[in-house]
Structure 1
């Protein structure tokens, strides 16, 4: 849905505002009413685009998977795909937080299903026909990104730290 209102693209505005709220205060702080108030529209306007909070978070997750797929597609090799994954998580923490929390999402949403499939396809392209290596690489990148977002891994350059870890784990 790409309806626009007199003040611009409300859908985009609500998604951006929701990502800011999640990044700063967590998912529990997201309220369609508050986002509508912030946008200066009626409380029903965001519901027109998303239905409810689950719809909003699902749209945010689908957007995140599409962005992640783009990042992965631009990476050269498995290690750099891991770096791209970590960078994505650190640059888009709200998307990252909702993308993998199935309790928050409508798993049957066609946009989400398509975005997840696109991301999986990009990941598979990086590892070929080695599902165990794909899962190991994903686990390493996801775990590192989650630890970094939680303040449990420190250092100036997350990408370089991850490259070092990946080189140790995957020997090359």
Structure 2
């Protein structure tokens, strides 16, 4: 968690300097993305809110994504991750939306993805999405790796030109 907090400190300062905000929809990272971003003093200047969207029921209750928007889409996929990031940005009125959806382990998910599989996305002035495979069944290590990937993606998107 210390490494995540260090990443978030750099990002938090960058977001504050740019007067930008962020919102999070995360799943198998279990809230670590939000926790890291909130560990920075003054986080209220840039952190708008977030949700751990771990189950279909949580998705309905926390995101209000219409069923039609999910047609032909499955969890733990790049299109779904991007939809979650867009949803976070729009619902909270944030500059950036971050999302993560995957299988932390020790087993895979019901879609055939192995433990250590996740898709992370950001939505904002630029959009990015990537699939990550850690090839590990270590749940806690995967959760940290997934959260770190989210923070790295936001860092890359917000790097000064």
Asked which structure has the greater CA Rg, the reply is 1
More helix by share: 1
More strand by share: 2
